[in-house]
Structure 1
Amino acid sequence: MALRPLASLRRSWEPGHTTVVLPLGLIAVVFVVDTLSPSHIHLGPLLVAAPALTVAFAGARLTALVGALAVATQVAIGVARGVLATANIQAQIGALLVVSALLVGFCLVRDRREQKLHQVTSVAEAAQQVLLRPLPSRSGPLEIAHLYLPAEEEAEMGGDLYAAARTSHSTRLLIADVRGKGLAAISHAALLLGAFRAAAHRQATLRNLAVHLDGAMRWDSAQWRNREEPDTEESFATAMLLDIPDEEPVVRFITCGHPPALRLGGSGVSVLPARVGQLPLGLARLAGPPEYETETFPFERGELLLLYTDGVVEARDADGAFYPLTERAAAWRRHRPEEVVRQLRENLIAHVDGHLGDDAAAVAVRRI
């Protein structure tokens, strides 16, 4: 609480607030011109513009200071012209006092609301960072980097997600895209992240892990529904689960309706296609009991896997052209993961001119 006055002072005197010379200059000009003008010319009422200008860029303390200076200047004008005791000058001083007080009150209300908004935003950011934790930069023989670009301004997390877990002999990764947007998507994303983190390190196989995640999605949407009610819930998530052994130069994965990963190496860029089509998590039982099949591809030292959500490849420019990820990735074959996601971020933002239509997430993994 004791820090608030200091914060208010800092806000009032931020280096960028050099525009304070405008109200101060106006006060000086009005004083000089008014005292030198004929008796029938009165510029004193213009002094009210000084605190009115200040409130646009400063806090309550600086506004009050400028208002007090304007009132003092009005008094000085009355003294200099010998009219301080007249009803006209006293009315101008009173009006200036009232307007300055109202402007300071407005600043206090505005600053209080901004402080509350900042507190709420800070809590929301902390909660979002707990849900979507940063991935480790190293895991066994792997270097990892990640990217998240929310479509909504000021948002930190939406329906796209990623997570990593360490087993005794491998690294497991999840990248997924939950259907929908807003709080509902964040809620389902949090559920999926929690289910993965709780089970990824102890599930014997990727298949068992996929069944567990599918069941978690279905349980969340069905737990409060009566048996007689029809199942109209459409909660699901496209996902890709990966298991990368420390000692074997391979990657094992299960794709559940998710875009295929790219493998970047000395021979170029190749797509890791899903030979077996799987339904998204939460919908697997529509085709009977879920039977996930694990696929295996080579993943040698020096190669890099690029995982991404559909928000990356479906991003459009002003002409409606999709972002050419595979073509751009060819230039990043020898880059480290941090550089790959940096290049991807810059390329993608430039392609959409800074306005994403959907959340975009990516994870780069390099075996060293």
Structure 2
Amino acid sequence: MEESKEIQLESKHRFQINNLTVEFALMGKSHVFPYKDATVTITLPKAESIAEHPDEFYIAGTSSYRMEGEKKVLLTVNVGVVNVSVKPGESVALPSVVLGKNPIGAALIPEDVKPRLKEIGERTDDIASNAFEYWLTVMRWRCDNHRIGRPPLPGPNILWQNFLLDAESKQIVWSIAGQIRIVSHREVTTTGWADTQASLQACEEVPVYILLLNDAREYFLRHEYRRAIIDLAIACEVFMRTIVLRTLPKNLDADMRAMIEEANINQYRKKFLPNLLTKEGQVALKKLNEAHLNSLFDARNKIMHVAKDDRATNENCTRFIKATATLFEMEKNIANPSHDSGVTTL
């Protein structure tokens, strides 16, 4: 009788990633967390994978370094891929001879086992993809860097230098320098990495208002100002509703709770939220409302209700993004903060 062995299954995956720069000390480090009844491990490439002059499809490449004498000491690394493994908690009995075959000894696997392996393979592939996307949202949140994992920003393919010239003689009279947009790549620190692990291990879901703010920042960089303003306004509204609603007593009458939930956002901005803040917080919120939030909500309404987008500008988006981030900091000024952080778990 052919000998068989019960083995625990694990799937292996590799994902390409954009805009991930980490401290050199993090190379080879992993995040391990539960996801959909499985255990997921996401691992950065090891230090030996770092290329000094990476090509387009690099695993990891040097970002910054310092010189100590003639020795180059790496400080930060651009990561091009991450490795993902999924342990679904599934085991299967296979002929021992299969484990000694490389490549796969598919012909040696019993026919009645193959459908189960196929199902587990498809499920772990789905888990890996979704866990990777979840990991990205938590990394952006805890490392305060909305660019992690985002695709490169589009830009014009300039074939030659631009000039001003005399239309008749075609004589060049001026050289146009053009504008160069530089997007900084803030590196992931050991602290940000540890904070991410804590949230992943706790299965925390990124607050919706944080997701919206990060999306708005991305739209802004892509010059999609209307979408940025809409997302910023919704982010502010969701934040204020979240802060207020979580302070309500659990035994509050259902009709009264529904009435508060359905209240106009102006009630939250001008009454509900200020009543929860310290004196300093109330003064700060009043200034924020007058300087920026009134304008943000008005711009959002003009875009959505009358298709008027003349205020969807770079300048306005810049100040609205700062105002939204400032509003989120108001949580520190709650007079009697709830024990509920407002962060849900998966």
TM-score (norm 2): 0.28
**Higher Cα Rg, which structure:** 1
Q: TM-score, normalised by structure 1?
A: 0.27
Question: Greater RCO between the two (CA within 8 Å, min separation 6)?
Answer: 2
